[in-house]
Copies of this chain bind each other. A is one copy, B any other.
Amino acid sequence: MKPAELVNRQWILARVPDGPAREGDFAQRTIAVEELADGEALGRARWFTFEAAMRAWLAPPASRDGAAGSVPARGYPFRVQPGQVMAGPAVVEIVVSRRPDLTPGELVRNAMFGWQEYVRIGAAQPVQRLDPAIPVDRQLTALVGNGPTAYFGILDVGGVRAGDTVVVSGAAGATGSMAAQIARIAGACVISIAGGTEKCRWLVEDCRLDAAVNYRQEPVSERLRQLCPDAIDVFFDGVGGSVLEAAIDNMADHGRIVVCGQTAAYDGVQAPAGPRNLFELVTRRVRMQGYLLSDFAARMDEAQQALADWLASGELVGRSEVHEGFENAPRAFLRLFNGEGTGKQLLRL
């Protein structure tokens, strides 16, 4: 099989979304696979995985537009431009290798392989080997990306300890569900926030959290006050907006807010208003801390080992939705924003 004979299908960004992202913002194209240079390898995509933060790559952050006195800011360090292949994590099987450390048949992952059927892997491009002993979907759900992000967010950034009251937003999502369960394993009382009755049932029954608040049907601030009579020690936030405001209403003195994501701000032209009660950060001496998984790269093995152990013992449960077929990549991605998806969204090719 010579690469030059292969045809590569790609999903490109067709246009910058002018509101919530839609399938029509993406388009397919077909190009030839180029010859490999010495040291390169060719991978064939087997899995795509999707993260809400990828939405932020599709446009200038909405907060820039219309803010009084604002100008285009430093902004997010990465953008997908119209005409470029949509970026995102993928697992590929090595099919041709001129790179000594990669063997045909191996499965490797990179967070930027993108939405395409064939990937040319550069001589120095870092890749992450999957563990052949663990089912791929299980690894993608809990052991890479979301799982370690939750692990360091709860235990390091949030400093959760036994006896803490912890609240997790976006708790039915891939990172939130891991974060909430890791807090429970650490000995915290854990209140989860999610949208929908079934998600809330899953969080309490299967993830064994202390309570779940359905933000679509319940007043979040009031419910948190009832459920957290001693206030919130750690709020793990993947959502932002009004959910963050409701949590700030209920923070304990010296509480910590772990800012993992702001999905409320991703999918639109104009980000929603931020929390109006930041003065409470002063009166309660609250710390808000943003972080990225890459800050903890040196400790990835520790996180993956702990997560694998918890999965094996049943203390930690993962949930994923596996979609099929290259053509469904945009549809699977958009389930992160339309409220339909529960747990990790995976696409098998």
Contact B259 A281 (CB under 8 A): yes
Contact B276 A63 (CB under 8 A): yes
Contact B290 A70 (CB under 8 A): no
- Minimum Cβ distance to chain B for residue A71 (Å): 4
List the B side residues contacting A285 at CB < 8 Å.
289-292, 295
Contacting residue for A63 out of B245, B265, B291, CB 8 A: B245
Say yes or no for A275: interface residue by CB 8 A criterion: yes
Contacting residue for A67 out of B69, B276, B283, CB 8 A: B276
Question: In chain A, residues 255-286, which have Cβ atoms closer than 8 Å to a Cβ of chain B?
Answer: 259-262, 265-266, 270-286
A272, closest chain B residue (CB):
B276
Contact A77 B282 (CB under 8 A): no
Contacting residue for A260 out of B231, B273, B282, CB 8 A: B282
> Which of A136-144, A214-222, A329-337 lies at the interface with chain B?
A214-222
Question: In chain A, residues 146-165, which have Cβ atoms closer than 8 Å to a Cβ of chain B?
Answer: none
Say yes or no for A242: interface residue by CB 8 A criterion: yes
Contact B73 A225 (CB under 8 A): yes
Contact A244 B63 (CB under 8 A): no
List the B side residues contacting A129 at CB < 8 Å.
none
Contact B275 A63 (CB under 8 A): yes
Say yes or no for A212: interface residue by CB 8 A criterion: no
Contact A218 B282 (CB under 8 A): no
